[in-house]
Amino acid sequence: MTTLFFWIFAVVVAGSALLAITRRNGVAAALWAASSFVGIAGVFVLLGAYFLAVVEVLVYAGAIMVLFLFVIMLLNLREADLKVVQGPRMHVGGAILGALFLAGLVWTCRRSGLFDVPLDAKGPVGETGAVAAPLFRDYVLPFEIVSFLLLAAMVGAVLLTKRRLS
Amino acid sequence: MTYVLGKLLHIVIVAGAALPGLAAVLVWAERRVSAFIQDRLGPNRVGPAGLLQPIADLLKFIFKEDVIPGHVNKTLYVLAPAMSLVPALVAFCVVPYARGMAIADVNVGILLVFAISSIAVYGVSIGGWAGNSKYSLLGGVRASAQMISYELALGASCVPVFLVVGELNMEAIVAWQKANGWLVFYLFPAWIIFLVSSYAETNRLPFDLPEAETELVAGYHTEYSSMKFALFFLAEYIHMITASALSVTLFFGGYELPWVTLPGGAWGTVLSGLVFFGKISFFLFLFIWVRWTLPRFRYDQLMNLGWKILFPASLVVVLATAGWIAMVTP
């Protein structure tokens, strides 16, 4: 039963991701990406990580993707505007970058032994405390530094878009 | 197998009959109460006291011509009402509406409600975009900005509840309140923030900017008619029911009564369901009462209230509660 559901979610995740990068319509692409996030949340549920599953939907599908959609809807790009970022050079460059990124990801997962963990290894990940303890106790400093980096990026973005500072 | 079938039956009864039925009665109540507030009578012809009016309205919606304007994005236009209604129905699944009667009694409880209702933004914003007119686009954009902004305050205003109870599970929150009294007496400021944010999340007056008729015709559902419009309408009323149910469960003791202990067994379940219904009826009435009493906010006022008052206030409440708990616990 679990295996069946895993395959259903896997197909949803991979299929939606594929559709998200091949759609020409920006709104459709954003919706497929959101569907992919919901699929990932399903995989988290199967692994017993209920809190992470909920956060995945809440943050990625419910907030980040909505903001993307927001921007896409406001810009309302036409086909002609997209010509700038299309063409063979972009495709080849994108493919090479993507392959490099995938290779790096696989290499890191291999080295850290993530691939050797069996699928049904259910730890205490379902508990909220199990997520909170590393974030707010064991790794509190790196976590805070990362949040400051994000804040800096956000302030920078606001500053760049302001024409006049008064 | 019987477990799965039982759950399916439960889902069909709650999402297929109880919630839409309650929403229909709510539409009637809204029209009657608004009429009394404005010194009119309201719909009182169809059935006793006009109670069959929602059925007449439903028949009208079904038999109206289903118009799909030529200028819309067809797929998304058809999908949007469903994307609005389905999260509204699913979000109710973790609410314990009577003793032991939540469809899904999960440990992450209320976070699941937030996750699902955060998806409801898609229905509104896609509906606004797919309509391909400036009124509906503006309405959709306004709605998504408003819902994202107030989600933060709404989520943060519930954190004190989790801190005090120490659990996210809804049944556990109800049990804690049975033992120690209603949480609203401990966390009154958090409840105020929760109430105001939930009005903004459900797009109800004084925060119904997405469909401000004087500026935007009807906002995100300007291009919709017949049953598709009715689905958006139904979604709004079901969101109201869920918001009231959350308010009751988190801050007003859920399906239990203070001092009086309800009997166990089947009778206890029925009685606790009635208690819950009575409590949410009050909050639903409050929704209607507020709508026909207060004027609408201006857009910048709405954003200022959300980001500069409610969100910082909710953070202060969270910190104060955490500090209080840290002082009390040895």
Each residue's pLDDT tens digit in chain B (330 positions)?
Answer: 788 888 888 888 888 888 888 888 898 888 888 888 888 888 888 878 888 888 888 888 888 888 888 777 788 888 888 888 898 888 888 888 888 778 887 777 788 888 888 888 888 888 888 877 888 888 888 888 888 888 888 888 988 998 888 888 888 888 888 888 888 888 889 999 999 998 888 887 787 776 766 677 777 777 787 888 888 888 889 989 999 999 999 888 888 888 777 777 788 888 888 888 999 999 999 988 888 888 888 888 888 888 899 999 999 999 999 999 888 876
Q: Chain B residue closest to A76 (CA)? A: B129
Position of tokens 């009124």? B135
ipTM: 0.79
Give the 3-state DSSP-derived string for B141-155, with helices as H, strands as E and coil as C.
HHHHHHHHHHHHHHH
Residue ranges of B 153-172 with Cβ closer than 8 A to chain A: 168
Residue A119 is predicted with a pLDDT of 63
Q: Which of B75, B111, B137 to mutate to test the interface with A (most CBs of A within 10 A)?
A: B111
CB atoms A54 and B122 under 8 Å: no
Residue A132's contacts (CB-CB under 8 Å, 6 or more residues apart) are none
pLDDT at B40: 87
Q: Which of B118, B137, B144 minimises the CB distance to A58? A: B118
d(CA A59, CA B284): 29
For residue B117, what is the nearest residue in chain A, using CA coordinates? A62
Among B145, B20, B8, CA closest to B89: B20
Enumerate the domain spans of chain B.
Answer: 67-328
DSSP B296: P
In a 10 Å sphere around its CB, with 0-12 CB exposed, 13-18 middle and 19+ buried, how is residue A46 labelled?
Answer: middle
What tokens were used for B105?
Answer: 């009694």
Chain A / chain B CB contacts < 8 angstroms: 71
CA B282 to CA B269: how far, in whole Å?
A: 20
DSSP B298: P
Q: Domain-by-domain residue ranges, chain A?
A: 1-83, 85-122, 127-166
Integer angstrom CA distances of residue A108 from A45, A104, A135, B324: 24, 6, 21, 43
Quick check: A50 and B107 CB within 8 A? yes
Task: Please name the residue that has the structure tokens 């969100």.
Answer: B311
Low-confidence ranges of chain A (pLDDT < 50): none
pLDDT at position B126, please?
85
Q: Residue B206: is the preceding peptide bond cis (ω within 30°)?
A: yes
CA distance A14 to chain B (A): 20
Whole-angstrom Cα distance, residue A60 to residue A33? 10
Which residues of A touch chain B, with CB atoms under 8 Å apart?
25, 27-28, 31, 34, 38, 50-51, 53-55, 57-58, 61-63, 66-67, 69-70, 73-74, 126-128
Distance of CA B132 to the CA centre of its chain: 28
| Rounded Cα distance, B169 and A34, in Å | 26
| pLDDT tens digits along B277-287 | 999 999 999 98
Please answer whether residues B200 and B133 qualify as being in contact, where contact means their C-beta atoms are separated by less than 8 angstroms: no
In this complex, which of B111, B114, B129 lies closest to A73 when CB atoms are compared? Answer: B129
| Three-class secondary structure of residue B51 per DSSP | coil
**Chain A CA closest to residue B152:** A63
Provide the CATH topology of domain A1-83. Answer: Four Helix Bundle (Hemerythrin (Met), subunit A) (1.20.120)
- CB proximity list for B4: less than 8 A, separation 6 or greater: none
